[in-house]
């Protein structure tokens, strides 16, 4: 059935649950996993009084985002390793997460995207998150939404 699954993750509680479920699913299917994290781009500078609130440079922001991506992806890979599921990780900087997810699935030759119904910015409960909706709308690769 499925041989290579892309699992986007953002470190949110639902995303962590999704990682665990995806690992179980992949183990049952005999599939391998690529865990993926779309790093945010440096936010637009704020001018005026707000400019002094956060003096983070683009380099500092990039390092913090890369460190966060590594932490999240290492935890996901550890879960797969413990279950005996082959996995790798990938991250890119992209300000449009749904495009990054679809691109990653295509680049890695994935035949399924297994993702949470919503992430950090999503509404818990009944509604799908906007990034999940966009992946469902634009992906030609099957998408399994975990809630």
Domains of the chain, earliest start first: 4-31+59-121+133-146 (3.40.50.620)
pLDDT of residue 126: 41
pLDDT band (50, 70, 90) for residue 95: confident
68 with 11: CB under 8 angstroms?
Answer: yes
This prediction has a pTM of 0.86
Helix (H, G, I), strand (E, B) or coil at 144: strand
Q: For 30-46, how does the pLDDT look when each residue is reduced to its tens digit (9 = 90+)?
A: 999 999 999 988 765 55
Residue 48 pLDDT > 90: no
Q: Are 137 and 29 in contact (CB under 8 A)?
A: no
Tokens at 136, concatenated: 């469902």
pLDDT confidence bin for 140, thresholds 50/70/90: very high
Q: How far apart are CA 28 and CA 61, in angstroms?
A: 39
Tell me what pLDDT residue 17 has. Answer: 96
């Amino acid at each position: 059935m499925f041989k290579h699954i892309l699992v986007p993750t953002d470190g949110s509680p639902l995303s962590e649950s999704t990682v665990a479920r995806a690992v179980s699913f992949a183990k049952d299917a005999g599939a391998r996993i690529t865990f993926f994290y779309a790093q945010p781009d440096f936010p637009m500078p704020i001018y005026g009084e707000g400019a002094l609130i956060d003096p983070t440079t683009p380099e500092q922001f990039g390092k913090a985002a890369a460190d966060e991506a590594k932490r999240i992806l290492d935890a996901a890979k550890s879960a797969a390793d413990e279950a005996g599921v082959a996995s790798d990780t990938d991250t890119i900087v992209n300000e449009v997460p749904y495009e990054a997810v679809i691109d990653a699935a295509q680049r890695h030759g994935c035949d399924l995207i297994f993702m949470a119904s919503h992430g950090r910015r999503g509404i818990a409960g009944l509604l799908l998150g906007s990034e999940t909706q966009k992946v469902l709308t634009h992906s030609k690769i099957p998408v399994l939404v975990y809630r």
